[in-house]
Every structure is written in structure tokens, then in C-alpha cells.
């Protein structure tokens, strides 16, 4: 029998601000990869923040699963130290003791069926001790290569079977598959033992707040919907710029590349939220239905399209944020002749009545001049320039920019008369920042994901068909790029906005990328 967890503490009373959501129900969070980096950096600090906001049930416990042979006490000691290191703000010692007191540990190899027997035994004990009512929240904070096998083993051990009102859910970290074939195979394997409503595929790039901000902006304001279509919109540009290189994840990243890492999940989430039809409700199922339709409506690339409408780049050395930085090929874990892309630009079309003929230009990359994410909607120009016989010959188009990171907000650019005797028009901007109105709070980005998962809300997680639709769009690009490895890498300097070909991609259509302040 496993050791019985021996520390029991009352959850300290904390003020709960009015209007906050209810605490999650009783459950045990079982973290496969409990000794890993993600658990230490993000998951434990997020659990602490949830407890601090009174969003965790007093009947909550954690079981970490890893390869090492720790006792419960040793694991608690390690996690207590990690929590101090990675906390996002000042810690309440009583609260952190409460959280750590509810932690247990099981050691073993993921592929070993005996491990799951020991996990089941420990869960039974923990369940009784902390009154968690048989609800298990499995979190696979492991390499994706283990996902299918862990799910199967959980199924074989009877750990994901829901009965007598108990729920069982499994969170899968990203990436879910690395192309269409592997994503389909993993979905099949996982859905043999789990129902779709038990499967939580992480895509934590956009926080829930941002997703809801976009939905509220689009669907609670009557003035935008009538012009949100091909009659009034000329094109849409999406930029997701990072200043970082590959940091310590060179080995992982070199197998993936920017197209896999960013496009089917993160960029397509922005595309679908910006372009989807109004859902019939705010429920995750209804929102996913509409997002999925958009992903299925993205025009498939053929090989010829890939050559014209997809650009790849890899950073060379340069200066980023005032610091000299090495080339991608000189990063730790990256082969010196790597052909992996660290930048992509794409032109997409969406084949439906709302968007037919409106190009979407997407770009994302590492070692760009500024960490910045936006969706810029460029409207068509005014149909007629009234100001003949004046110095005004060219009017700028209106632009509505949804700022996503680092600051969330909206800005609308329009033309205004410059004061004076002469007829001159200049661009002006109306700006709105969420933080000016609503303030901000320190978090890891995982709090809402965990809370929603425990509550069974799948809004922020990807459904099987969405994952597959995303891969279906990028697969032809992956295939062509694999068949024709890049010959001009590195082709952009760190600290620049990417390769010259990215400018060519949009310039061919008579347009240009928005200038983003550095």
C-alpha cells in the first residue's frame, strides 16, 4: 500500500472579492511529469494563485507522477522550494503550506502498467483523506510522445471511467500531433478510452480573457458586425512577433519549426476568432462549432500555392533589443546546418460568403524587433475622393487593430482634417487599453486553464476536429518545404522583421505590412 499522506491543514480563510466565480469542485489533480519544468514553473504557481483567489475547493489534492523514487515528503519539500522560486507574487506562507500539505507522489516509468496500479492505490487513499469524491483531473505535462500510451494505460487501469457522478478528465499539453496523420492517429488512440468531453487539448497561447474580449468586441457591439465582411474589409494582417530565440529548447524546436509550433494552433485561433460567424451561445461547444467551420473553410494550398503564398525564414546573428545575439544555427541543441524555419509568412483565403476574396496575411517569427501580437483589419478606402483641387490626393484606409500582447486594447485609425487654411488630411488614432479601465493581475497564464478544466469548461481547449482541420491546412506546406529544403538560410538578421521574401509576398498584391513601432 502507498504511504498515506500525513499532513492535513485547514485552508486558510481569505477575503473573496464579490462577483468572483465559485470555487471549483472537489478533485485530485494528477500530474504526469510532476518533476518537470512545466509543473514547477507554471502549474504549481498557478494552483497557488487559484487557491489565493479562493477558486480551489478546500477538498483539493495533487498527486505528482515522475520517474524518480521520491517519498511524499521529499516531493513536498522539492515542490515547496520550487513554489517559492516561481511564485508570481508575494506568498502567504500559510496558504502555500496548505497547498503543499495536499501533495503526494508516485514514482515509475510511464510505459509500466504497474505504475498505474500504484497511481490507482494512491488515488484511493488520497481520495479518502481529502474527500475529493473520486474526481480525477489528469494533466499530462510530459513529452507528447507519451500522450497516447498514458491515455491507454489510464483506460486499461479503469482510471478514466466515469460512474456514480464522478468525473475524470485528461489534459494534453501541446503539441497534439506534428502533422495531420499523427494528430488523427493520436485522436483515435485517445478517443478509444475517453469521450471527447473528457479530453482537454491545451492551446494556452490566448488567455480566456483575450478570447472573450475578442468575442465581446465582435458580438456585443452592433456597429462592427455590418461592416465585418468582404464588402468593407480589404484585408486582414496578423502578426505574432517574438524577440526570444529558442532558449533552452533548441532540440525540441529544431524538430518542429515555426510553422508547426505556431500556425495550426495559435495563429489559426486568432484567425477563427476574428472571422467566425456569431455562435448560437457563449458555450464552448457553440464557439468551437463556428471556429471549426472557419478552419475547414481555409482554402487548401496546392504545391504551386506553397511556392507563391508561403515564405520561410531562419534568423542569422544580429542585434535584438540592444543585445548581440547568435544565429539560430549557433544555438544550443541546433545542428549547424539546420534547415528549420524560425519565421513564416503566409497568405490565406477563406472560402465562405463573408470572406471570399479577402486575403489574410499571417507572419510570425523569433528574434524579431519586438514582442508583439496584433490583428489588423484594413478597411477599403472611401469610394470617392471628394477633395479634388486640394493637396489631398491619397487618403489612408481605415484600420482597426486588435492589440493582443503585450498590452490588450483596440485602436481605430481614421483620417481627420489637419487644422489650418489648407485642406490637409492626416491619420489619427482612437485608442483603448483594457488595463487603463480594468487593471491587471499577475498570473502564469495557466490559472484559468486549470480552473476551467476542473470545472469541465472546454472553451479554451481544442476539439479533435479543430486540431485536425488546422493540420490539414499546414500539411501541404510542410510537405513542399520538406521536399525542397531551404537553400538560403539564414535569410534574416536577428532584430529585423524577417526575410525580404515576406515583403515580396504582400507587395505582389499591392499591399504592405503594417509598420509596427519598435
Ligand X SMILES: NC(=O)c1ccc[n+]([C@@H]2O[C@H](COP(=O)([O-])OP(=O)(O)OC[C@H]3O[C@@H](n4cnc5c(N)ncnc54)[C@H](OP(=O)(O)O)[C@@H]3O)[C@@H](O)[C@H]2O)c1
Contact between 447 and 49 (Cβ < 8 Å): yes
Q: Which of 142, 153, 314, 340 binds ligand X (CB under 6 A)?
A: 142
Contacts of 161 (CB under 8 A, 6+ apart): 168
From 7, 25, 38, 82, residue interacting with ligand X (rule: CB under 6 A): 38
CB of 107 to ligand X, least distance (A): 8
Q: Which of these, 348, 406, 401, 408, lies nearest to 515 by C-alpha position?
A: 401
Residue 55: C-alpha distances to residues 60, 93, 131, 196, 415 (Å): 11, 18, 17, 25, 47
Tell me if 253 contacts ligand X by CB under 6 A: no
Min dist CB 77 to ligand X, Å, is 15
The window from 30-38, 381-389, 398-406, 427-435 that contacts ligand X (CB under 6 A) reads: 30-38
Locus of grid cell 484567425: 271
C-beta of 32 vs 497, nearer to ligand X: 32
Q: Does 82 bind ligand X (CB under 6 A)?
A: no
**DSSP helix, strand, coil percent of the chain (3-state; round to 5):** 35, 20, 40
Query: What residues does 469 pair with on adjacent strands?
Result: none
Residue from 36, 207, 318, 470 touching ligand X (CB under 6 A): that is 36
Binding mask 293-332 for ligand X (x = CB under 6 A): ----------------------------------------
Q: Is 141 in the site for ligand X (CB under 6 A)?
A: yes
Residue placing its CB nearer to ligand X in the complex, 142 or 496: 142
Catalytic positions, please? Answer: 266
Q: Does 67 help bind ligand X (rule: CB under 6 A)?
A: yes
Instruction: Classify residue 42 by its DSSP letter.
Output: I
Give the per-residue contact string, 93-132, with ligand X (x = CB under 6 A; - = no): ----------------xx----------------------
DSSP 34: T
Query: Does residue 15 belong to the site contacting ligand X (CB under 6 A)?
Result: no
Look-up of cell digits 508575494: 90
Interatomic CA distance for residues 464 and 203, integer angstroms: 12
- Which residues, 6+ apart, have CB-to-CB distance to 37 below 8 Å? none
Task: Report the nearest approach of ligand X to the CB of residue 40 (Å).
Answer: 8
Cis peptide preceding 155, ω within 30 of 0 = no
Contact status: 194 vs ligand X (CB under 6 A): no
Query: Least distance from C-beta 112 to ligand X, angstroms?
Result: 8
3-state secondary structure 238-293: EEEECCCCCCCCHHHHHHHCHHHHHHHHHHHHHHHHHHCCCCCCCCHHHHHHHHHH
Site for ligand X in 152-181 (CB under 6 A): 173-174
Strands 461-462, 425-433: pairing is unpaired
For ligand X, the closer of residues 24 and 178 by Cβ is 178
Please, which residue, 143 or 422, has the CB nearer to ligand X? Answer: 143
Out of 3, 143, 422, 512, the residue judged to bind ligand X by CB under 6 A:
143
CA-to-CA dists, residue 435 to 120, 385, 407, 444, angstroms: 45, 38, 8, 17
Q: Which stretch binds ligand X (CB under 6 A): 35-43, 352-360, 389-397, 488-496?
A: 35-43
Q: 105-132 burial, b for 16+ CB within 10 Å, e for fewer?
A: bbbbebeeeebbebbbebbebbbebbeb
Does position 33 interact with ligand X (CB under 6 A)? The reply is yes
Stretch that binds ligand X, among 29-37, 226-234, 296-304, 382-390 (CB under 6 A): 29-37
Stretch that binds ligand X, among 37-45, 188-196, 221-229, 292-300 (CB under 6 A): 37-45
Q: Whose CB is nearest to ligand X?
A: 36
Task: Pick the closer one to ligand X by CB: 31 or 310.
Answer: 31
**Angle, CA of 136, 469 and 463, to the nearest 5°:** 20
Instruction: Name the site residues for ligand X (rule: CB under 6 A).
Output: 33-38, 41, 66-68, 109-110, 141-144, 173-174
Amino acid at each position: 500500500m502507498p504511504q498515506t499522506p500525513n499532513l492535513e491543514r485547514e485552508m486558510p480563510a481569505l477575503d473573496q472579492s464579490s462577483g468572483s466565480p465559485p470555487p471549483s469542485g472537489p478533485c485530485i489533480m494528477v500530474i504526469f511529469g510532476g518533476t518537470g519544468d512545466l509543473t514547477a514553473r507554471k502549474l504549481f504557481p498557478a494552483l497557488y494563485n487559484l487557491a489565493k483567489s479562493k477558486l480551489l475547493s478546500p477538498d483539493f489534492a495533487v498527486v505528482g507522477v515522475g520517474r524518480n523514487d521520491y517519498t511524499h515528503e521529499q516531493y513536498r519539500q522539492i515542490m515547496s522550494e520550487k513554489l517559492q522560486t516561481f511564485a508570481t507574487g508575494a506568498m502567504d506562507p500559510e496558504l502555500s503550506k496548505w497547498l503543499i500539505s495536499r501533495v503526494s507522489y508516485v514514482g515509475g516509468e510511464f510505459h509500466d502498467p504497474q505504475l498505474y496500479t500504484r497511481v490507482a492505490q494512491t488515488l484511493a487513499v488520497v481520495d479518502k483523506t481529502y474527500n475529493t469524491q473520486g474526481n480525477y483531473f489528469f494533466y499530462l505535462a510530459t513529452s507528447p510522445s507519451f500522450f497516447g500510451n498514458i491515455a491507454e494505460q489510464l483506460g486499461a487501469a479503469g482510471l478514466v471511467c466515469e460512474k456514480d457522478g464522478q468525473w475524470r478528465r485528461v489534459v494534453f499539453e501541446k503539441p497534439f500531433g506534428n502533422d495531420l496523420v499523427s494528430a488523427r492517429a493520436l485522436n483515435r488512440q485517445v478517443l478509444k478510452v475517453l469521450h471527447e468531453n473528457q479530453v482537454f487539448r491545451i492551446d494556452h497561447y490566448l488567455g480566456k480573457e483575450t478570447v472573450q474580449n475578442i468575442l465581446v468586441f465582435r458580438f456585443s457591439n452592433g456597429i462592427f458586425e455590418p461592416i465585418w465582411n468582404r464588402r468593407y474589409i480589404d484585408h486582414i494582417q496578423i502578426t505574432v512577433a517574438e524577440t526570444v530565440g529558442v532558449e533552452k529548447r533548441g532540440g525540441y524546436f529544431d524538430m518542429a519549426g515555426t510553422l508547426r509550433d505556431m500556425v495550426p494552433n495559435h495563429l489559426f485561433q486568432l484567425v477563427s476568432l476574428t472571422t467566425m460567424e456569431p455562435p448560437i451561445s457563449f458555450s464552448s461547444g457553440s464557439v468551437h462549432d463556428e471556429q471549426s467551420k472557419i478552419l475547414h473553410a481555409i482554402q487548401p494550398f496546392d504545391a504551386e500555392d506553397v511556392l507563391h503564398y508561403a515564405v520561410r525564414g531562419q534568423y542569422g546573428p544580429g542585434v535584438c533589443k540592444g543585445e548581440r545575439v547568435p544565429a539560430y544555427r549557433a544555438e544550443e541543441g541546433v545542428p549547424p546546418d539546420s534547415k528549420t524555419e524560425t519565421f513564416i509568412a503566409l497568405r490565406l483565403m477563406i472560402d465562405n460568403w463573408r470572406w471570399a476574396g479577402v486575403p489574410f496575411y499571417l507572419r510570425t517569427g523569433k528574434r524579431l524587433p519586438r514582442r508583439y501580437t496584433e490583428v489588423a483589419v484594413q478597411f477599403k478606402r472611401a469610394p470617392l475622393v471628394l477633395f479634388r483641387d486640394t493637396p489631398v490626393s491619397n487618403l489612408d484606409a481605415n484600420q482597426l487593430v486588435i492589440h493582443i500582447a503585450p498590452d490588450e486594447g483596440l485602436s481605430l485609425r481614421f483620417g481627420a482634417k489637419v487644422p489650418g487654411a489648407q485642406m490637409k488630411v492626416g491619420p489619427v488614432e482612437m485608442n483603448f487599453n483594457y488595463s487603463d479601465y480594468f487593471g491587471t493581475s499577475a498570473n502564469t497564464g495557466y490559472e484559468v486553464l486549470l480552473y476551467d478544466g476542473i470545472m469541465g469548461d472546454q472553451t479554451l481547449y481544442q476539439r479533435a476536429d479543430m486540431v485536425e482541420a488546422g493540420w490539414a491546412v499546414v500539411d501541404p506546406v510542410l510537405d513542399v518545404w520538406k521536399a525542397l529544403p531551404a537553400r538560403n538560410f539564414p535569410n534574416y538578421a536577428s532584430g529585423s522583421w524577417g526575410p525580404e521574401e515576406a515583403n515580396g509576398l504582400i507587395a505582389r498584391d499591392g499591399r504592405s505590412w503594417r509598420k509596427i513601432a519598435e
